[in-house]
Amino acid sequence: MKLAVREALKGSGNVSPNPLVGAVVVKNGNIIGKGYHKIYGGPHAEINALDNCTESPAGADLYVNLEPCAHHGKTSPCTQRIIAERISNVYIGSPDPSDHCCGKGVRELRDAKIQVHNDILRSECDMVNAVFFHCLKNKTPYVVLKAAVSLDGYMATVKNDSKWISCEKSRKEAHRLRSIYDSVLVGKNTVLNDDPELTVRFVKGKNPVRIATDETLSLDGHHRIFNRLAPTVIITGKNVPHDKETFLKGKGIKIINADIHNGLLDLKTALKELYREGIMSVMVEGGGQIHSYMLKNRMAQRMALFLSPILIGGGIKLFDGKTDLIKESIRLETVSKRNFDEDIFLDLIVRYSS
């Protein structure tokens, strides 16, 4: 099952809105086939694993991190192929809670006299598809807060200089993260100060949808996020200049109009609109005000934190100080920790109190 999980992760960034799935076929104690869901609309992991078998899979065991599908979608049901190949045992990590599945895959396999074993490495398999499960339950994108910070908690100096807090290896990992999430989001000030392109450059992978918040629609359309390398979305207020909105739409920019409360855009409603547009995940790259907004409104599910061994002593904090994290009972649970030269990368789950 650990190998099936590793296979599943190979599809990161290429299968959304589908889940990440890997499969391994074992016969007489030997792995005879493995595969993963490579691209949205393409063959599922079970089919690829069975196609890759070096000998007949009849009587073999199949390990898959998610319950096999039993419905006709862009591909035929995986259960039919598993049954046709006369697999003896199917070991499943996570159940599929989708309306079209929800136990149907297990039932079909058992009706065909195949032994089904559930919840194998369940927590690890659930984590692989955290985005998929969150979206099914909440009908809103999965939100990841990404930041590079100094040891004293600053994202930039008093002059807004943030190049570079993190090392080159950390920046490469940040681009890998961009490639696996559907979109990246920044505030207007980040666009004005850094003029980021928000594309994937240091690793192979697809460019995410670029999202910027701009309450008054003041960005002039000449910044790098408006180039044609990737789609761009602007979240703005409802009473913005009509001619400016028409101009940006003419450049292919999608506009989402949201209410403004106390000078801040209603991002919760805007995210639901993004979900309706097919965006399953959003990585927030700044700035501190948006990070705090997301946490205070319980909108963030994860953090990707690059901690660099430097002291800045003042400037823009990771959080703007308006959110009392202790009072709000927000806790961060470490999923993994890695070193990139002297930087420490923390993959964190955000836990909110009930």
Q: Which residues are catalytic?
A: 46
Structure tokens at 98: 């989708």
Rounded to whole angstroms, the Cα distance separating 245 from 67 reads 45
β-pair partners for 33: 25
Rounded to whole angstroms, the Cα distance separating 95 from 101 reads 9
Q: Three-class SS of residue 65?
A: strand
Polymer length of the chain: 354
β-pair partners for 209: 183
- Classify each residue of 88-98 as buried b or exposed e, where b means 16 or more C-beta atoms within 10 Å of its C-beta: eebbbbbbbeb
DSSP-H helix ranges across 30-129: 45-51, 78-84, 104-111, 122-128
User: Helix 267-276 and helix 288-296: axis angle, to 10°?
Assistant: 90
Q: Given phi > 0 = left and psi -120 to 50 = alpha, else beta, which region is 166? A: beta
Q: Which amino acid is at 204?
A: K
Q: Which residue has the tokens 């007489």?
A: 28
Q: Taking the CB of residue 22, how many other CB atoms lie within 10 A of it?
A: 30
Of 85, 80, 60, nearest in space to 68 by CA: 80
Vertex 165 angle, CA 163 and 166, to 5°: 110
